[in-house]
Amino acid sequence: MKRMVVALVVVLLFSSSALAADYYPPYTGEPVTLTMWAWTSNENYSIEEFQKAYPNITVVWEDFAVHYNKAQTALAAGSGLPDVLMVEYSFAPQFMDLGAFQPINKWLDVETFVELYGEIALGWCSMDGQIYGTPQDSGANGFFYRKDIFDKYGLTVPTTWEEYAEQARKLKAAAPDLEFAAPPLGYALVWVGMIWGAGGKMFDYHDGNWYIDFTNPIAEEFFEFWGELFDEGVLDIQMWWNADWYSSLNLGKTASVIVGCWFAEWLRYNALDSEGQWRVAVPPFISADQPHNGMIGGSGFYVTTHCKNPEAAAIFVNWLNSHPDSLRCLHKYSNLPIMVSTRYAEILEEIAGPDEFFGGQNIVEELWKAHQLVDTTFVGLPIWSNMDTALSLLIQDYVDGKIERFADILPLWEQQVINTMKEFGYDNVIVGRLP
Amino acid sequence: MARINTKVPWFRKMAWFGKKTTWMNKKKLISTLKAYAFLAPFLVLFVGMVIYPISLGVRLSLYGQRGARMWYIGVENYQRIFSDTRFWESFKTPLFLLGVQVPLMLFLATLISLAYETRKNSGVVYRFIYYLPYTIPGIVAGIVWSYIFSDSMSPLRPLLDLLGYSGTKILTRPNVPPILLVIILWEFTGYTAFIVYSSLISIPKEFSEAAQLDGAGFWQIAFKIKIPLLRDVLITLFIFNAIGAMQVFNEPYMLGGLVVLPNNYTPAMYIYSSAFSQGRFTYAAAMGMILACITFVISLYVLRTAARNVLRSRS
């Protein structure tokens, strides 16, 4: 009996390590140094842990801020890209299309990818069946709100968009100086992400063709919804990512923000005066029986065409974004609450706990719920920065009064996007429907 | 320097090296070599930092480009630019600066330099203080000024609130041209005044003393005698400031962080955005060439008109 138990344990041990070995094959090549560009508040990108597992691969990490301009220049110059590049999911198709990445299917095939990261993530890290990288953090929308303002004015966390409008009106009536929320003037990721949260989309890529349809019913309904609130003066549009916006969050002039769950890290570093006042919740749904969620941001790590040793790079990006040792590190040092990898569930119990900045709330648990509700996906257009600029200008025109209805922005935006796609030489664009 | 062509056949020229050089020829050769040796550092840098990049830029502008691919398309970029309304619209702001900021700044700088001249010794403190803004890098100035005009952190906010303007934003897109005016005047007027001042004190005192004896007042002397004599330096300053106005980038770019500005707010911003945000490097190179030509034409025009005026007034 005892021998059988021992045999069973040995077999189990072997099989589990064999399974693990399936995901992380040993590296049999020459010792190599990989370079990586990534941004974060982290001092350590799990690199030490990785080098314990793979002593022959050294990783050198350079922390630039968002480095897309530099990456594009290096790409055009023909050299200068690092081996591994961090790119947000929405911008990745642009780089994939420009030929900035090389496929790593040889070392990370589709089946393994789906097992480790889920099928949805294929839309962010692959195109036409070629896998270029692995996803790291989830940008699942979260509803970040100031508990002190909510308590003071008797507001409740909205669970549907109707309730959201109600609460916004309530706050405006009680405190005209404060904003319930300040949607961004531009920053297309948020607008696309909120429509994603309603289960919709405005563009996609399928079978070699790009599909564009900005004026579909879900998008129109959404922009009408916001337009009503803006016209009533209940919500104000504000430019994000500048000192004015941070100070409005810090000083409590804005009561809530809907943005990707990685925002927890940003709040921690930029809104220090408001420590302890913020909470998170799952964002409101279109209606209680249609629970969806979308993503705003979140980044993947891709292997570039300038990489001379794609095998080592593929091993690194896979290990970095799925091995529990690495995920633990990323969570602890990058303060990223949720990672995309399915293996994150393995350490969830261990790392989820009360968070001081959020007044003791277990934000990992809450945001994991939000992440699980992301059940649709689509591929971003390869001209994201142009799309972004176009939206900024249109929303500015709306604020200036040159565009009457907020929903009128959609057809104008669509037209500009189509023109830009043509200008950049895309003749495989299908307008008016989505796959 | 024109060389007289003596049409010496090439083999004769080669024979010159073999011929016994006279003492006079050797001296000429050595002095020519010395001249080039002194010029060499400048020449090397000039060729490497100016000529080479410009010629590379011209070469780049003849190609189409997407990502890492480049293919030869001749002058197609230039043709596309001529029909690109976004590029030509971007000239609104530089033309505003050229027409308003440059003359205004030269006028203010001249007034200030006249004031400097009346206090040659005790005025040192003021000359120093007014010169300081020039030493601050444009980007730093842009950041600090954008805070001054921002919504939440402006030191002007309490004053505005007191006056009843608590809701209004200072930094809005229609307000950007006057705000640019303020920033650029603050940055460069002191420096310009200093340059005009150094020309002013080199005007021989005899002219103004003679005019004083004839009964001319301070302002009459200033505008009828001193300023006409400063014409050369004022023309030079006008040209330099015109070039700066056409290529303005730092200040609007920094303001663009706090207010939504189109990426073609100035030609330089459009070129930057085309190259680095949109990755169209060759298109941007072509636009850069065109901007350089336009700036050159404007400078040439100013020089020619001014020279003609000088000739006319002196004849």
Domain segments of chain B as ranges: 91-263
pLDDT interval class at B256 (50, 70, 90)? confident
A250 contacts chain B (CB < 8 A):
no
Q: Which residues of chain A does B173 touch, with a Cβ-Cβ cutoff of 8 Å?
A: 396, 400
Hey, are the CB atoms on A239 and B262 less than 8 Å from each other? no
Averaged pLDDT, groups of 10, chain A, 435 residues long? 61 50 80 88 75 89 82 86 91 88 90 89 88 91 92 91 92 90 91 89 89 91 91 89 84 90 85 88 86 89 92 91 88 83 87 86 89 88 87 88 90 92 85 87
A392 contacts chain B (CB < 8 A):
yes
Contact, A41 vs A334, CB < 8 A? yes
Q: What architecture does CATH give domain A141-294+377-431?
A: 3-Layer(aba) Sandwich (3.40)
pLDDT at residue B286 above 90? Answer: yes
How close A77 gets to chain B, by Cα (Å)? 7
The Cα–Cα gap between B182 and A179 comes to 32
pLDDT at A5 (0 to 100): 60
The Cα–Cα gap between B198 and B67 comes to 51
> DSSP label at A89?
T
Q: Is the ipTM of this complex over 0.85?
A: no
Q: Which residues of chain B does A75 touch, with a Cβ-Cβ cutoff of 8 Å?
A: 67-68, 279
pLDDT at A19 (0 to 100): 47
- Nearest CA to A314 out of A21, A117, A33, A24 is that of A24
A75, closest residue in chain B (CA to CA): B68
A247 contacts chain B (CB < 8 A):
yes
pLDDT at A18 (0 to 100): 45
How close A67 gets to chain B, by Cα (Å)? 10
pLDDT digits (tens, 9 = 90+) for B81-115: 998 888 999 999 999 999 999 999 999 999 999 88
Q: Where are the beta strands (DSSP E) in A65-132?
A: 84-88, 126-127, 130-131
Q: Which residues of chain A does B275 touch, with a Cβ-Cβ cutoff of 8 Å?
A: 73
Nearest CB among B68, B153, B173 relative to A396 is that of: B173
Which chain B residues in 69-88 lie under 8 Å from chain A, judged by CB atoms?
69
Q: Which residues of chain B does A248 touch, with a Cβ-Cβ cutoff of 8 Å?
A: 152
Hey, are the CB atoms on B278 and A385 less than 8 Å from each other? yes
Hey, are the CB atoms on A393 and B258 less than 8 Å from each other? no
Contact, B268 vs B291, CB < 8 A? yes
3-state secondary structure of B147: helix
- Span B2-24, mean pLDDT? 62
Contact, B77 vs B71, CB < 8 A? no
Hey, are the CB atoms on B66 and A425 less than 8 Å from each other? yes
The two beta strands, A130-131 and A133-135, are unpaired
Contact, A380 vs A297, CB < 8 A? no
Pick the residue with more confidence: B23 or A60?
A: A60
Domain with CATH 3.40.190.10 in chain A: 30-138+298-351, 141-294+377-431
Pick the residue with more confidence: A119 or B307?
A: A119
Sorted by sequence, the CB contacts under 8 Å of residue B31 that are 6+ apart come out as: none
B274, closest residue in chain A (CA to CA): A386
- Nearest CA to B180 out of B265, B64, B63 is that of B265
**Probe site for chain A from B152, B261, B269 (most A CB atoms < 10 A):** B152
B255, closest residue in chain A (CA to CA): A242
How close B158 gets to chain A, by Cα (Å)? 16
Nearest CB among B257, B276, B278 relative to A386 is that of: B278
B260 contacts chain A (CB < 8 A):
yes
Distances (CA, A) of B147 to A208, A335, B134, B169: 47, 30, 19, 12
pLDDT at B4 (0 to 100): 67
Nearest CB among B67, B153, B259 relative to A99 is that of: B67
Contact, A56 vs A27, CB < 8 A? yes
- Nearest CA to A327 out of A137, A148, A192 is that of A137
The DSSP bridge partners found for residue A87 are A300
Determine the Cα angle at B205 with ends B199 and B208, to 5°.
100
pLDDT interval class at B2 (50, 70, 90)? low
B68, closest residue in chain A (CA to CA): A76
Hey, are the CB atoms on A72 and B65 less than 8 Å from each other? no
Hey, are the CB atoms on B260 and A73 less than 8 Å from each other? no
Which chain B residues in 168-227 lie under 8 Å from chain A, judged by CB atoms?
173
Q: Does domain B91-263 have CATH number 1.20.120.450?
A: no
Q: Among 1.10.287.130, 1.20.120.530, 3.40.190.10, 3.40.50.720, what is the CATH number of A30-138+298-351?
A: 3.40.190.10
Q: Where are the beta strands (DSSP E) in chain B?
A: 63-66, 69-72
The number of C-beta contacts closer than 8 angstroms across A and B is 66
